[in-house]
Amino acid sequence: MFGMNYWKAKEKRDNTTRLLQLLNQKEELTFKQLKESLQVSEPTLSEYIKLLEKEDKIEHFEKPEDRRSKWYRIKPKSKAQVQFMLDKLLLLDLIYRLDYPDVLHFLQDFIMELIALRREAAITEQVDLEALVEQAKKSTFKILPKMWKRIRA
């Protein structure tokens, strides 16, 4: 069905995403800490790091008190982009775990909230689509923790 190249690429993508998640949570980690957390070899981790550095997402830095360790962090200018990507992946994972009626119910609630907000904005003649979507997300996503608990049960 899928060749070896597909599975290698998938593993690489999954591990680079996991690396970004770790750096997003801990802010700064050493090469050794990343290697232990991801459970990969040094050459493999080096490959992932080079890829993410090339994509301008992470950076290497040194701490004066710990010059023997290689430290890594998400670049400040990439932090919002990385956070958005991780949030999107988490939401997609959640939707994937939901059964079909739950997905439809969730999307229906989101769309109805968006329509109601759009009507409200049209009345006041202030239409900012991005703000409407953000407001609808906040209202609709309040149900996500309940759905997530039910999925994990």
Compute the distance between CA of residue 59 and CA of residue 71 in angstroms, rounded to an integer: 8
pLDDT tens series, the chain, 153 aa: 556 676 777 777 777 888 888 888 888 888 888 888 888 888 888 888 898 889 888 888 888 887 788 889 888 888 888 887 887 777 777 666 666 676 677 777 777 776 776 666 555 555 555 665 666 666 655 555 655 555 555
Q: What pLDDT does 131 receive?
A: 62
Q: Residue type at 102? A: D
Q: What pLDDT does 82 receive?
A: 81
CATH numbers and ranges of domains, the chain: 4-76 (1.10.10.10), 98-152 (no CATH)
Q: What pLDDT does 95 receive?
A: 67
Instruction: Dihedral sign for Cα 16, 17, 22, 28, please.
Output: positive
Compute the distance between CA of residue 84 and CA of residue 7 in angstroms, rounded to an integer: 25
Eight-state DSSP code of residue 62: E
> Tens digit of pLDDT for each residue in 32-71?
888 888 888 888 888 888 988 898 888 888 888 877 888 8
Q: What pLDDT does 84 receive?
A: 79
